[in-house]
């Protein structure tokens, strides 16, 4: 047998061994993987996470049927580095996708380096069809675009929907409850070609969903990876006529409820095609709510602060994982993050980790499929290129603190702040003076981590 035949066969055998080893039913093919990523959705913005005003029946059902995480984290506090962390499985400093400018802008020269091995590239090498739908925000130049980074197809916006604002746009328009429909000149692209400029943002969620369903149907006979990165609820907020004005939470709620509808469309398609039991679906958000946008900014629930900060509200986000018949329904307090999706997907696909690449996540499959606790580990809260905080177990230490927006310089804590997140998830009661041993343990973990990180050339300058 030649290599082109033996490689797919060996991957199937590896995937089969994994599924049998985790006590689940053997599937006829390696599992599909879908990651649905909201933009600026807060911890408190879904019904299953406590929202009293936004109706999310499809996500609530997904949470009931799947595993809902109470302690799930984005890879960074803002858009670009968070997305880099998801697709590389690495803290953004390693790829150069972090820095003082915080995110990529239309005039940025950098982007996700071609040398980075993305999840899409690894799964494509394992025989998966790959598609990106929605917001990209990892670079518009050659080498950094979706099809340069392992995606067979792409449909969406190159960056945030509030960029490319019209020259005469009044200040604050992006955060208005009634933003001008023609206020932003951001382009809608399909496989690298502009198909509409400016993009009609009232149609984005619906059109994204149609493309996602089309991709699933076209690839139902072979394994696929879909990275579905919604534009909303990032401001400016828009909703289709079917959803505008329906929510008690104004246009923000309208946008989230349409996003919930989109999730329902995907899950019902998987059920219809008999793919639900062989598709890992993950739903999360790139960071916390943009609180400075007021009613258009969402909620972090009981968590402190929001987008842009390393307080819990900035990086602890909804996390729901669904695979009926394989993942038993429940709620877990185990700490996990988007960094874990890369090694988890590789395990499911029977694929090897990229050689010479340091991944920062853990394989979640023991927790997802056997409910085994995860190994003890540290989680590092980066703001730009610096570690502002670190969590081990229930303990979180802050070395620097800064609200997301409006505070020019961080507060430096030569004596770190310490919070027990089980007892005090709102981070109100500093208990550092009572637990010097915990502080010492966390400081040692930070030192070890920093010694292992080689920063890449900055891309966001």
Catalytic residues, by residue number, are 79, 137
User: With 0-12 CB in 10 A as exposed, 13-18 as middle and 19+ as buried, what is 172?
Assistant: exposed
Other beta carbons within 10 angstroms of residue 351's beta carbon come to 21
CA distances from 198 to 165, 184, 262 (A): 10, 7, 23
Distance CA 430, CA 424 (A): 9
- List, edge to edge, every strand of the sheet that includes 395-401: 378-383, 386-392, 395-401, 411-420
> Tokens in use for 163?
């960029």
Joined together, the tokens standing for residue 42 give 């807060």
234, 308 in Cβ contact below 8 A? Answer: no
Which of 105, 192, 107 has its CA nearest to residue 156?
A: 192
Residue (of 33, 137, 34) closest to 85 by Cα position: 137
Question: Residue 257 and residue 266: Cα distance in Å, rounded?
Answer: 15
Q: Phi/psi class of residue 164: alpha, beta or left (left: φ > 0; alpha: ψ in -120 to 50)?
A: left
Q: If we measure between CA atoms, which residue out of 230, 233, 263 comes closest to residue 134?
A: 230
Classify residue 376 as exposed, middle or buried by CB count within 10 Å of its CB (0-12, 13-18, 19+): exposed
CA of residue 439 relative to chain centroid, distance: 29
Helical H runs in 22-131?
57-65, 79-88, 119-125
Beta partners for residue 293, in sequence order: none
Stated length of the chain: 461
How far from 14 is each of 19, 30, 124, 174, CA to CA, in Å? 9, 9, 16, 48
- The whole-angstrom separation of Cα 85 and Cα 424 is 27
């Amino acid at each position: 047998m030649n290599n082109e035949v033996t490689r797919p066969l060996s991957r199937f055998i590896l995937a089969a061994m994994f599924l049998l080893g985790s006590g689940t039913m053997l599937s006829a093919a390696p599992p599909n993987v879908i990651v649905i990523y909201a933009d600026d959705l807060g911890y408190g913005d879904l019904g299953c996470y406590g929202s009293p005003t936004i109706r999310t029946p499809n996500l609530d059902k997904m949470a009931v049927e799947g595993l809902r995480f109470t302690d799930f984290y984005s890879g960074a506090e803002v858009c670009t580095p968070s997305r880099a962390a998801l697709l590389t499985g690495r803290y953004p400093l390693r790829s150069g996708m972090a820095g003082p400018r915080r995110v990529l802008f239309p005039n940025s020269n950098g982007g996700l380096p071609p040398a980075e091995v993305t999840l899409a590239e690894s799964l494509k090498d394992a025989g998966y069809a790959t598609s990106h739908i929605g917001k990209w925000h990892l670079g518009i130049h050659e080498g950094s675009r979706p099809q340069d980074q392992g995606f067979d197809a792409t449909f969406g916006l190159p960056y945030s929907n509030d960029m490319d604002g019209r020259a005469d746009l009044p200040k604050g328009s992006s955060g208005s409850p009634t933003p001008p429909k023609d206020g932003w000149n951001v382009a809608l692209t399909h496989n690298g070609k502009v198909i509409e400029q400016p993009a009609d943002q009232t149609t984005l969620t619906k059109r994204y969903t149609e493309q996602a369903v089309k991709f699933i149907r076209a690839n139902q006979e072979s394994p696929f990876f879909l990275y579905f990165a919604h534009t909303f609820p990032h401001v400016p907020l828009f909703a289709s006529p079917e959803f505008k004005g329906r929510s008690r939470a104004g246009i923000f709620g309208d946008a989230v409820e349409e996003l919930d509808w989109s999730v329902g469309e995907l899950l019902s398609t998987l059920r219809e095609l008999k793919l639900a039991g062989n598709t890992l679906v993950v739903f999360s958000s790139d960071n916390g709510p943009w609180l400075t946008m007021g009613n258009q900014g969402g909620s972090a629930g009981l968590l402190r602060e929001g987008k842009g900060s390393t307080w819990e509200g900035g990086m602890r986000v909804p996390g729901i994982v669904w695979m009926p018949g394989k993942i038993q329904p429940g709620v877990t307090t185990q700490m996990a993050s988007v960094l874990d999706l890369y090694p988890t997907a590789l395990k499911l696909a029977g694929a090897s980790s990229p050689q010479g690449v340091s991944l920062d996540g853990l394989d979640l499959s023991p927790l997802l499929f056997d409910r085994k606790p995860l190994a003890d580990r540290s989680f590092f809260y980066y703001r730009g290129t610096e570690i502002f905080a670190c969590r081990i177990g229930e303990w979180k230490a802050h070395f620097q603190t800064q609200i997301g927006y409006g505070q020019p310089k961080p507060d430096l804590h030569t004596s770190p702040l310490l919070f027990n997140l089980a007892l005090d998830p709102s981070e109100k009661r500093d208990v550092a003076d009572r637990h010097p041993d915990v502080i010492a343990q966390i400081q040692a973990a930070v030192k070890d981590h920093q010694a292992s990180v080689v920063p890449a050339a900055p891309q966001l300058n």
